[in-house]
Amino acid sequence: MKKIQMVDLKGQYEQIKERVDASVLDVISSAAFINGPEVHSFQKELEEYLEVKHVIPCANGTDALQIAMMGLGLKPGDEVITADFTFAATVEVIALLQLTPVLVDVEPDSFNIDPEAIKKAITPNTKAIVPVHLFGQAANMDEIMAIAKEHNLYVIEDNAQGIGSSYKFADGKVAKTGTIGHVSSTSFFPSKNLGCYGDGGAIFTDDDDLAHTIRGIVNHGMYKRYHHDVVGVNSRLDSIQATVLRAKLPHLDAYNNARRSAARKYNQAFEGIENIITPKVKGNSCGTSSAIICDTCNCHVFHQYTLRVMNVDRDALANHLNEAGIPCGVYYPIPLHSQKAYQDDRYNELDFPVTNQLVKEVISLPMHTELDDDQINYITKNIIDFVTK
Ligand SMILES: *Cc1c(COP(=O)(O)O)cnc(C)c1O
Protein backbone atom coordinates (compact mmCIF):
# COMPACT_ATOMS: atom_id res chain seq x y z
CA MET A 1 0.00 0.00 0.00
CA LYS A 2 1.17 3.52 -0.80
CA LYS A 3 1.99 5.72 2.19
CA ILE A 4 -1.18 7.57 3.18
CA GLN A 5 -1.10 11.36 2.98
CA MET A 6 -3.63 13.78 4.41
CA VAL A 7 -3.36 15.64 1.09
CA ASP A 8 -1.45 14.13 -1.85
CA LEU A 9 -0.25 17.08 -3.92
CA LYS A 10 2.65 15.15 -5.41
CA GLY A 11 0.48 12.38 -6.81
CA GLN A 12 -1.84 14.93 -8.37
CA TYR A 13 1.09 16.85 -9.86
CA GLU A 14 2.37 13.72 -11.59
CA GLN A 15 -0.87 13.64 -13.63
CA ILE A 16 -0.46 17.17 -14.99
CA LYS A 17 3.33 17.48 -14.84
CA GLU A 18 3.92 17.95 -18.55
CA ARG A 19 1.57 20.87 -18.93
CA VAL A 20 2.52 22.49 -15.63
CA ASP A 21 6.27 22.24 -16.23
CA ALA A 22 6.01 23.64 -19.74
CA SER A 23 3.75 26.52 -18.81
CA VAL A 24 5.76 27.50 -15.74
CA LEU A 25 8.90 27.62 -17.88
CA ASP A 26 7.01 29.70 -20.45
CA VAL A 27 6.09 32.23 -17.79
CA ILE A 28 9.70 32.44 -16.68
CA SER A 29 10.96 33.02 -20.19
CA SER A 30 8.23 35.58 -20.85
CA ALA A 31 9.29 37.44 -17.68
CA ALA A 32 5.68 38.64 -17.25
CA PHE A 33 5.63 37.65 -13.59
CA ILE A 34 2.98 40.03 -12.29
CA ASN A 35 -0.35 40.80 -13.97
CA GLY A 36 0.80 38.94 -17.06
CA PRO A 37 -1.45 37.38 -19.68
CA GLU A 38 -1.68 34.12 -17.70
CA VAL A 39 -3.41 35.92 -14.84
CA HIS A 40 -5.85 37.53 -17.24
CA SER A 41 -6.60 34.22 -18.99
CA PHE A 42 -7.12 32.43 -15.70
CA GLN A 43 -9.48 35.17 -14.58
CA LYS A 44 -11.57 34.77 -17.75
CA GLU A 45 -11.59 30.98 -17.52
CA LEU A 46 -12.70 31.04 -13.90
CA GLU A 47 -15.45 33.58 -14.72
CA GLU A 48 -16.73 31.16 -17.35
CA TYR A 49 -16.51 28.14 -15.08
CA LEU A 50 -18.35 29.85 -12.23
CA GLU A 51 -20.74 31.78 -14.47
CA VAL A 52 -19.94 34.96 -12.59
CA LYS A 53 -19.33 38.37 -14.15
CA HIS A 54 -16.16 39.30 -12.31
CA VAL A 55 -13.26 37.35 -10.85
CA ILE A 56 -10.59 39.54 -9.26
CA PRO A 57 -7.49 37.50 -8.47
CA CYS A 58 -5.48 38.40 -5.36
CA ALA A 59 -2.71 37.08 -3.14
CA ASN A 60 -4.58 34.67 -0.85
CA GLY A 61 -7.99 33.79 0.54
CA THR A 62 -7.58 35.88 3.68
CA ASP A 63 -6.85 38.99 1.61
CA ALA A 64 -9.79 38.13 -0.62
CA LEU A 65 -12.19 38.29 2.34
CA GLN A 66 -10.63 41.46 3.69
CA ILE A 67 -10.77 43.16 0.29
CA ALA A 68 -14.38 42.09 -0.24
CA MET A 69 -15.29 43.79 3.04
CA MET A 70 -13.26 46.89 2.15
CA GLY A 71 -15.00 47.01 -1.21
CA LEU A 72 -18.41 47.05 0.45
CA GLY A 73 -17.34 50.09 2.44
CA LEU A 74 -18.03 48.52 5.84
CA LYS A 75 -17.09 50.91 8.66
CA PRO A 76 -15.62 50.43 12.15
CA GLY A 77 -18.37 49.36 14.50
CA ASP A 78 -20.44 47.66 11.81
CA GLU A 79 -21.39 44.19 12.98
CA VAL A 80 -20.60 41.19 10.79
CA ILE A 81 -22.17 37.86 11.64
CA THR A 82 -20.20 34.69 10.94
CA ALA A 83 -19.85 31.11 12.13
CA ASP A 84 -18.18 30.18 15.40
CA PHE A 85 -16.92 26.97 13.79
CA THR A 86 -14.56 27.92 10.96
CA PHE A 87 -10.96 28.76 10.21
CA ALA A 88 -9.79 31.90 12.03
CA ALA A 89 -9.14 33.83 8.81
CA THR A 90 -12.84 34.60 8.57
CA VAL A 91 -13.09 36.39 11.91
CA GLU A 92 -9.55 37.77 11.74
CA VAL A 93 -10.19 40.10 8.82
CA ILE A 94 -13.44 41.34 10.36
CA ALA A 95 -11.50 42.31 13.48
CA LEU A 96 -8.57 43.75 11.51
CA LEU A 97 -10.90 46.17 9.74
CA GLN A 98 -12.22 47.20 13.18
CA LEU A 99 -15.62 45.81 12.29
CA THR A 100 -17.32 43.91 15.09
CA PRO A 101 -17.36 40.14 14.60
CA VAL A 102 -20.50 38.46 15.89
CA LEU A 103 -19.95 34.71 16.12
CA VAL A 104 -22.95 32.41 16.04
CA ASP A 105 -23.55 28.69 16.37
CA VAL A 106 -23.68 26.16 13.53
CA GLU A 107 -25.92 23.26 12.48
CA PRO A 108 -24.95 19.84 13.86
CA ASP A 109 -25.36 17.98 10.55
CA SER A 110 -23.81 20.32 7.98
CA PHE A 111 -21.44 22.14 10.41
CA ASN A 112 -22.57 25.33 8.64
CA ILE A 113 -23.85 28.59 10.11
CA ASP A 114 -27.32 28.20 11.63
CA PRO A 115 -29.86 30.61 10.10
CA GLU A 116 -31.87 30.66 13.35
CA ALA A 117 -28.76 31.80 15.22
CA ILE A 118 -28.17 34.51 12.61
CA LYS A 119 -31.69 35.85 13.15
CA LYS A 120 -31.14 36.08 16.89
CA ALA A 121 -27.87 37.95 16.46
CA ILE A 122 -29.14 40.75 14.22
CA THR A 123 -29.08 44.26 15.71
CA PRO A 124 -29.49 47.72 14.13
CA ASN A 125 -25.68 47.73 13.64
CA THR A 126 -25.56 44.49 11.65
CA LYS A 127 -24.29 45.11 8.13
CA ALA A 128 -23.21 41.74 6.73
CA ILE A 129 -23.38 37.97 7.06
CA VAL A 130 -20.39 35.81 6.15
CA PRO A 131 -21.48 32.21 5.55
CA VAL A 132 -18.57 29.78 5.18
CA HIS A 133 -19.24 26.77 2.95
CA LEU A 134 -17.46 24.61 5.46
CA PHE A 135 -15.66 21.45 4.38
CA GLY A 136 -17.05 21.87 0.85
CA GLN A 137 -20.81 22.00 1.42
CA ALA A 138 -22.93 25.09 0.85
CA ALA A 139 -24.51 26.81 3.82
CA ASN A 140 -28.29 27.23 3.78
CA MET A 141 -28.32 30.02 1.19
CA ASP A 142 -32.13 30.07 0.80
CA GLU A 143 -32.50 31.17 4.41
CA ILE A 144 -29.40 33.33 4.50
CA MET A 145 -30.33 35.34 1.40
CA ALA A 146 -33.88 35.77 2.72
CA ILE A 147 -32.62 37.05 6.09
CA ALA A 148 -30.21 39.39 4.32
CA LYS A 149 -32.96 40.77 2.11
CA GLU A 150 -35.32 41.31 4.99
CA HIS A 151 -32.71 43.20 7.05
CA ASN A 152 -30.87 44.85 4.16
CA LEU A 153 -27.55 43.10 4.82
CA TYR A 154 -24.67 42.13 2.57
CA VAL A 155 -23.82 38.46 2.13
CA ILE A 156 -20.14 37.69 1.69
CA GLU A 157 -19.56 34.01 0.96
CA ASP A 158 -16.29 32.55 2.22
CA ASN A 159 -15.92 29.94 -0.49
CA ALA A 160 -12.33 28.93 0.34
CA GLN A 161 -13.42 25.34 0.97
CA GLY A 162 -16.31 25.14 -1.47
CA ILE A 163 -15.02 25.91 -4.94
CA GLY A 164 -16.82 23.83 -7.56
CA SER A 165 -19.80 22.99 -5.37
CA SER A 166 -23.37 23.91 -6.24
CA TYR A 167 -26.42 24.89 -4.29
CA LYS A 168 -29.99 24.13 -5.28
CA PHE A 169 -32.50 26.70 -4.11
CA ALA A 170 -35.97 25.71 -2.96
CA ASP A 171 -37.34 27.03 -6.27
CA GLY A 172 -35.11 24.62 -8.20
CA LYS A 173 -32.53 27.12 -9.39
CA VAL A 174 -28.94 25.88 -9.12
CA ALA A 175 -25.94 28.15 -8.63
CA LYS A 176 -22.30 27.57 -7.89
CA THR A 177 -21.21 28.55 -4.41
CA GLY A 178 -19.40 31.86 -4.50
CA THR A 179 -21.89 33.32 -6.97
CA ILE A 180 -24.91 33.65 -4.68
CA GLY A 181 -24.09 36.44 -2.23
CA HIS A 182 -23.14 40.03 -3.10
CA VAL A 183 -19.47 39.14 -3.14
CA SER A 184 -17.40 36.05 -2.38
CA SER A 185 -13.87 35.04 -1.65
CA THR A 186 -11.84 31.94 -2.29
CA SER A 187 -8.36 30.61 -1.60
CA PHE A 188 -5.98 28.76 -3.90
CA PHE A 189 -3.79 27.56 -1.01
CA PRO A 190 -2.16 24.32 -2.22
CA SER A 191 -4.37 21.98 -0.18
CA LYS A 192 -7.65 23.61 -1.23
CA ASN A 193 -9.78 21.87 -3.88
CA LEU A 194 -8.35 24.19 -6.54
CA GLY A 195 -4.87 24.86 -5.20
CA CYS A 196 -1.84 26.50 -6.75
CA TYR A 197 1.80 25.93 -5.85
CA GLY A 198 2.10 28.80 -3.43
CA ASP A 199 -0.42 31.34 -2.20
CA GLY A 200 -3.34 32.68 -4.21
CA GLY A 201 -6.93 33.82 -3.87
CA ALA A 202 -9.77 35.57 -5.66
CA ILE A 203 -12.87 37.65 -5.14
CA PHE A 204 -16.06 37.06 -7.19
CA THR A 205 -18.99 39.35 -7.80
CA ASP A 206 -21.69 40.09 -10.38
CA ASP A 207 -21.78 43.76 -9.36
CA ASP A 208 -19.91 45.91 -11.92
CA ASP A 209 -19.38 48.88 -9.59
CA LEU A 210 -18.16 46.72 -6.73
CA ALA A 211 -15.80 44.88 -9.09
CA HIS A 212 -14.36 48.20 -10.23
CA THR A 213 -13.87 49.36 -6.64
CA ILE A 214 -12.18 46.07 -5.72
CA ARG A 215 -9.84 46.15 -8.74
CA GLY A 216 -8.50 49.42 -7.41
CA ILE A 217 -8.26 48.22 -3.81
CA VAL A 218 -6.08 45.22 -4.71
CA ASN A 219 -3.70 47.62 -6.47
CA HIS A 220 -2.94 50.30 -3.83
CA GLY A 221 -6.26 52.05 -4.38
CA MET A 222 -5.24 53.13 -7.89
CA TYR A 223 -7.76 53.50 -10.70
CA LYS A 224 -5.34 55.64 -12.69
CA ARG A 225 -1.62 55.15 -12.38
CA TYR A 226 -0.23 57.02 -9.32
CA HIS A 227 -3.67 58.42 -8.44
CA HIS A 228 -4.65 56.83 -5.13
CA ASP A 229 -8.37 57.43 -4.71
CA VAL A 230 -8.98 55.02 -1.83
CA VAL A 231 -6.78 53.26 0.72
CA GLY A 232 -5.83 49.99 -0.92
CA VAL A 233 -3.54 47.05 -0.39
CA ASN A 234 -1.02 45.17 -2.49
CA SER A 235 -2.57 41.80 -3.22
CA ARG A 236 -1.76 40.05 -6.47
CA LEU A 237 -1.87 36.57 -7.91
CA ASP A 238 1.41 36.02 -9.72
CA SER A 239 1.66 34.58 -13.22
CA ILE A 240 3.34 31.35 -12.16
CA GLN A 241 0.44 30.56 -9.81
CA ALA A 242 -2.07 31.57 -12.47
CA THR A 243 -0.54 29.18 -14.99
CA VAL A 244 -0.69 26.31 -12.49
CA LEU A 245 -4.33 27.15 -11.83
CA ARG A 246 -5.05 27.22 -15.57
CA ALA A 247 -3.64 23.70 -15.83
CA LYS A 248 -5.81 22.50 -12.94
CA LEU A 249 -9.12 24.30 -13.55
CA PRO A 250 -10.20 21.97 -16.41
CA HIS A 251 -9.79 19.06 -13.95
CA LEU A 252 -11.60 20.67 -11.02
CA ASP A 253 -14.87 18.79 -11.56
CA ALA A 254 -12.99 15.50 -11.91
CA TYR A 255 -10.98 16.29 -8.79
CA ASN A 256 -14.17 16.99 -6.86
CA ASN A 257 -15.69 13.77 -8.21
CA ALA A 258 -12.68 11.83 -6.96
CA ARG A 259 -13.13 13.38 -3.53
CA ARG A 260 -16.84 12.52 -3.55
CA SER A 261 -16.06 8.98 -4.57
CA ALA A 262 -13.66 8.58 -1.64
CA ALA A 263 -16.28 10.11 0.67
CA ARG A 264 -18.88 7.64 -0.57
CA LYS A 265 -16.57 4.71 0.18
CA TYR A 266 -15.85 6.06 3.65
CA ASN A 267 -19.59 6.50 4.32
CA GLN A 268 -20.34 2.97 3.13
CA ALA A 269 -17.64 1.46 5.34
CA PHE A 270 -18.96 3.27 8.42
CA GLU A 271 -22.60 2.38 7.80
CA GLY A 272 -24.19 0.91 10.91
CA ILE A 273 -21.29 1.82 13.22
CA GLU A 274 -23.19 3.35 16.10
CA ASN A 275 -20.72 5.79 17.54
CA ILE A 276 -19.70 7.31 14.23
CA ILE A 277 -21.71 10.02 12.50
CA THR A 278 -20.70 10.30 8.86
CA PRO A 279 -20.95 13.59 6.97
CA LYS A 280 -24.42 14.45 5.77
CA VAL A 281 -24.95 15.85 2.33
CA LYS A 282 -28.02 17.98 2.73
CA GLY A 283 -29.13 17.17 -0.80
CA ASN A 284 -28.81 20.80 -1.67
CA SER A 285 -28.36 20.47 -5.34
CA CYS A 286 -30.14 17.32 -6.45
CA GLY A 287 -32.66 16.56 -3.74
CA THR A 288 -31.41 13.07 -2.87
CA SER A 289 -31.56 11.88 0.71
CA SER A 290 -28.85 13.10 3.00
CA ALA A 291 -27.23 9.71 3.55
CA ILE A 292 -26.37 9.34 -0.12
CA ILE A 293 -23.44 11.01 -1.76
CA CYS A 294 -24.73 11.16 -5.29
CA ASP A 295 -22.61 11.31 -8.37
CA THR A 296 -24.80 13.51 -10.45
CA CYS A 297 -24.37 16.84 -8.74
CA ASN A 298 -21.84 18.89 -6.89
CA CYS A 299 -23.70 19.32 -3.62
CA HIS A 300 -20.59 18.61 -1.55
CA VAL A 301 -17.00 18.82 -2.74
CA PHE A 302 -15.45 17.35 0.41
CA HIS A 303 -12.67 19.76 1.07
CA GLN A 304 -12.62 17.76 4.28
CA TYR A 305 -14.23 14.43 5.14
CA THR A 306 -15.17 14.95 8.77
CA LEU A 307 -16.64 12.40 11.15
CA ARG A 308 -18.22 12.96 14.53
CA VAL A 309 -17.22 10.26 17.00
CA MET A 310 -19.53 9.80 20.00
CA ASN A 311 -18.59 8.24 23.34
CA VAL A 312 -15.09 7.73 22.02
CA ASP A 313 -11.94 9.54 23.14
CA ARG A 314 -11.38 11.45 19.92
CA ASP A 315 -7.81 12.42 20.77
CA ALA A 316 -6.92 8.81 21.61
CA LEU A 317 -8.38 7.78 18.25
CA ALA A 318 -6.25 10.41 16.50
CA ASN A 319 -3.12 9.11 18.25
CA HIS A 320 -4.02 5.54 17.37
CA LEU A 321 -4.41 6.49 13.71
CA ASN A 322 -1.15 8.39 13.63
CA GLU A 323 0.63 5.38 15.09
CA ALA A 324 -0.89 3.23 12.34
CA GLY A 325 0.49 5.59 9.70
CA ILE A 326 -2.84 7.31 9.07
CA PRO A 327 -2.68 11.09 9.17
CA CYS A 328 -5.81 12.88 10.40
CA GLY A 329 -6.79 16.35 11.51
CA VAL A 330 -9.05 18.08 13.98
CA TYR A 331 -10.75 20.99 12.24
CA TYR A 332 -11.37 22.83 14.47
CA PRO A 333 -10.35 22.04 18.05
CA ILE A 334 -11.34 25.34 19.70
CA PRO A 335 -14.47 27.43 18.97
CA LEU A 336 -13.56 30.89 17.75
CA HIS A 337 -15.54 32.52 20.56
CA SER A 338 -13.19 30.83 23.05
CA GLN A 339 -10.00 31.93 21.30
CA LYS A 340 -8.01 34.50 23.26
CA ALA A 341 -8.01 36.96 20.37
CA TYR A 342 -11.77 36.81 19.81
CA GLN A 343 -13.21 36.41 23.31
CA ASP A 344 -15.87 38.92 24.16
CA ASP A 345 -18.07 39.47 27.20
CA ARG A 346 -21.21 39.53 25.10
CA TYR A 347 -20.84 35.82 24.23
CA ASN A 348 -22.83 33.37 26.33
CA GLU A 349 -21.69 29.72 26.34
CA LEU A 350 -25.33 28.64 26.16
CA ASP A 351 -25.51 30.17 22.69
CA PHE A 352 -22.91 27.75 21.29
CA PRO A 353 -24.12 24.25 22.21
CA VAL A 354 -23.32 22.77 18.79
CA THR A 355 -19.86 24.23 18.29
CA ASN A 356 -18.91 23.40 21.87
CA GLN A 357 -19.88 19.77 21.21
CA LEU A 358 -18.37 19.50 17.72
CA VAL A 359 -14.90 20.60 18.82
CA LYS A 360 -14.77 17.49 21.03
CA GLU A 361 -16.09 15.06 18.43
CA VAL A 362 -14.81 15.98 14.98
CA ILE A 363 -12.01 14.21 13.20
CA SER A 364 -11.10 14.69 9.55
CA LEU A 365 -9.71 11.79 7.54
CA PRO A 366 -7.27 11.83 4.62
CA MET A 367 -9.07 13.42 1.67
CA HIS A 368 -7.61 14.13 -1.73
CA THR A 369 -7.86 13.07 -5.35
CA GLU A 370 -5.39 10.18 -5.18
CA LEU A 371 -6.85 7.94 -2.42
CA ASP A 372 -7.11 4.30 -3.50
CA ASP A 373 -9.32 1.49 -2.21
CA ASP A 374 -6.52 -0.23 -0.26
CA GLN A 375 -5.84 2.97 1.60
CA ILE A 376 -9.52 3.63 2.31
CA ASN A 377 -10.03 0.05 3.53
CA TYR A 378 -7.00 0.30 5.80
CA ILE A 379 -8.15 3.65 7.22
CA THR A 380 -11.75 2.58 7.84
CA LYS A 381 -10.74 -0.78 9.36
CA ASN A 382 -8.43 0.93 11.84
CA ILE A 383 -11.14 3.37 12.88
CA ILE A 384 -13.87 0.74 13.20
CA ASP A 385 -11.58 -1.55 15.23
CA PHE A 386 -10.81 1.30 17.61
CA VAL A 387 -14.33 2.59 18.14
CA THR A 388 -15.95 -0.84 18.51
CA LYS A 389 -13.38 -2.47 20.77
C1 LIG B 1 -8.09 28.53 3.77
C2 LIG B 1 -9.20 29.38 4.26
C3 LIG B 1 -9.12 30.78 4.26
C4 LIG B 1 -7.87 31.53 3.97
O5 LIG B 1 -7.22 31.27 2.80
P6 LIG B 1 -5.66 31.59 2.65
O7 LIG B 1 -5.42 31.50 1.18
O8 LIG B 1 -4.92 30.57 3.43
O9 LIG B 1 -5.42 32.97 3.17
C10 LIG B 1 -10.24 31.50 4.65
N11 LIG B 1 -11.36 30.88 5.03
C12 LIG B 1 -11.47 29.54 5.08
C13 LIG B 1 -12.75 28.92 5.50
C14 LIG B 1 -10.39 28.74 4.71
O15 LIG B 1 -10.52 27.41 4.76
% of the chain at pLDDT higher than 90: 93
Does one domain contain both 226 and 371? no
pLDDT at 286 (0 to 100)? 57
Is the CB of 304 within 6 Å of ligand 1? no
pTM of the shown model:
0.96
> Residue 355: is its pLDDT beyond 80?
yes
> Residue 385: is its pLDDT beyond 60?
yes
Instruction: Tell me if 114 is assigned to some domain.
Output: yes
Q: How far is CA 276 from CA 51, 131, 368, in A?
A: 38, 26, 21
Instruction: Tell me if 4 is assigned to some domain.
Output: no
**What's the mean pLDDT in 273-282?**
91
CA of 160 to the centre of ligand 1 (A): 5
Does one domain contain both 268 and 223? no
On average, the pLDDT of the chain sits at 95
| Residue 192, domain extent | 9-249
Atom of ligand 1 nearest to the CA of 189: 7
Pinpoint the alpha helices (H) of 53-189. 61-71, 89-96, 115-121, 141-151
Is the CB of 59 within 6 Å of ligand 1? no
Is the CB of 89 within 6 Å of ligand 1? yes
Q: Which of 228, 249, 270 is the last residue of a domain?
A: 249
Is the CB of 200 within 6 Å of ligand 1? no
pLDDT at 287 (0 to 100)? 54
Is the CB of 317 within 6 Å of ligand 1? no
Q: How many structural domains does the chain have?
A: 2
Mutate to test the pocket of ligand 1, among 106, 189, 203, 303 (most ligand atoms within 8 A of CB): 189
CATH of the domain at 342: 3.90.1150.10
CA of 185 to the centre of ligand 1 (A): 9
Does one domain contain both 205 and 325? no
Does one domain contain both 32 and 153? yes
pLDDT digit string (tens) for 126-139? 999 999 999 999 99
Residue 85 belongs to what H/E stretch? none
Does one domain contain both 50 and 182? yes
CA of 199 to the centre of ligand 1 (A): 10
CA of 246 to the centre of ligand 1 (A): 20
Distant-in-sequence contacts of 373-376, Cβ < 8 A, 24+ apart: 373/265, 374/1, 374/2, 375/1, 375/2, 375/4, 376/262, 376/265, 376/266, 376/269
Does one domain contain both 185 and 322? no
Instruction: Tell me if 280 is assigned to some domain.
Output: yes
Mutate to test the pocket of ligand 1, among 187, 203, 245 (most ligand atoms within 8 A of CB): 187
Distance CA 152, CA 164 (A): 28
Is the CB of 187 within 6 Å of ligand 1? yes
Instruction: Tell me if 261 is assigned to some domain.
Output: yes
pLDDT at 148 (0 to 100)? 98
pLDDT at 45 (0 to 100)? 98
CA of 269 to the centre of ligand 1 (A): 30
Distance CA 196, CA 255 (A): 14
Instruction: Tell me if 2 is assigned to some domain.
Output: no
% of the chain at pLDDT higher than 70: 96
CATH of the domain at 157: 3.40.640.10
Which has more pLDDT, 389 or 239?
A: 239
Does one domain contain both 239 and 376? no
Does one domain contain both 91 and 225? yes
pLDDT digit string (tens) for 282-336? 865 555 555 556 666 678 999 999 999 999 999 999 999 999 999 999 999 999 9
Instruction: Tell me if 96 is assigned to some domain.
Output: yes
* Atom 2 of ligand 1: nearest residue by CA position: 160
CA of 325 to the centre of ligand 1 (A): 27
Does one domain contain both 245 and 259? no
pLDDT at 172 (0 to 100)? 85
pLDDT digit string (tens) for 144-186? 999 999 999 999 999 999 999 999 888 888 999 999 999 999 9
pLDDT at 295 (0 to 100)? 61
* Atom 6 of ligand 1: nearest residue by CA position: 61
Q: Any idea which of 29-38, 276-285, 360-369 has the lowest mean pLDDT?
A: 276-285
Q: Which of 249, 270, 297 is the last residue of a domain?
A: 249
The strand pair at 222-224 and 227-228 is best described as antiparallel
Instruction: Tell me if 308 is assigned to some domain.
Output: yes
Q: How many CB atoms lie within 10 A of CB 316?
A: 10
Does one domain contain both 269 and 134? no
Q: Which of 189, 218, 249 is the last residue of a domain?
A: 249
pLDDT digit string (tens) for 80-119? 999 999 999 999 999 999 999 999 999 999 999 999 999 9
Instruction: Tell me if 3 is assigned to some domain.
Output: no
Mutate to test the pocket of ligand 1, among 58, 87, 159, 241 (most ligand atoms within 8 A of CB): 87
pLDDT at 168 (0 to 100)? 87
Does one domain contain both 143 and 93? yes
pLDDT at 291 (0 to 100)? 54
Does one domain contain both 169 and 269? no
pLDDT at 292 (0 to 100)? 59
